Structure 1
Amino acid sequence: MEHYKNLGGDSNVVAYEIEAGEITVQFGDGSIYLYTNQSAGAASIKEMHRLAKVGQGLNSYIGRVVKKGYAKKIR
């Protein structure tokens, strides 16, 4: 997984992994969630990819838009 830059300084996201049509996100409590085109929608996954690469806004986007739209909780 790639370290999340956290440019805003207050994100609960610590790492992510981008694959075609999906993103895996690790949070500060150690939990890891897989989000896919099927679970969250292709537009949301595309935006999550963008926010992850920028290093800002991913945690708030998940909380505001994606919410519980994950495919599975890995850990």
Structure 2
Amino acid sequence: MKRYVHRGGESGVAAYDTGPRSITIQFTDGKIYRYTYAKPGAHHVEAMKELAVEGKGLATYINQHIRGEYTARLK
């Protein structure tokens, strides 16, 4: 996984990994979740990928738009 570098200070996201149709996110509490085109949907997954690369607003986006809409909890 790639370390998430939040350009605005502290973040609840620690790391992420992207796939063609998914993003996997590790939060600072150690929990890991996978989000896919199936759930929460392609639009959200692609938005999260962009925010992850930019290092800006990923945790906020998840809190505001995604919440519990993940495909799988991996840890």
Which TM-score band applies after superposition, normalised by the shorter structure?
over 0.9
Q: How many residues align?
A: 75
Matched, 1:20 2:16: no
TM-score with structure 2 setting the length: 0.97
Q: What are the ranges of 5 or more consecutive residues in structure 1 without an aligned counterpart?
A: none
* Structure 1 residue aligned with 2:71: 71
- Aligned-residue RMSD, C-alpha: 0.6
Moved over 6 A (4+): none
| In 1: Cα distance, 2:45 partner to 2:30 partner | 21
Cα distance in 1 for residues equivalent to 2:39 and 2:56 = 22
Alignment of 1:1-16 (within 5 A): 1-16=1-16
Secondary structure at 1:51's aligned position in 2?
helix
Could you say which residue in structure 2 is the equivalent of 1:31? 31
Equivalent residue letter for 1:57 = G
- The CA deviation string for residues 42-66 of structure 1, in whole angstroms up to 9 with x for no partner, is 0000100000000110000000001
Aligned-pair distance for 1:15?
0.2
Matching residue of 1:48? 48
TM-score, normalised by the number of residues in structure 1? 0.97
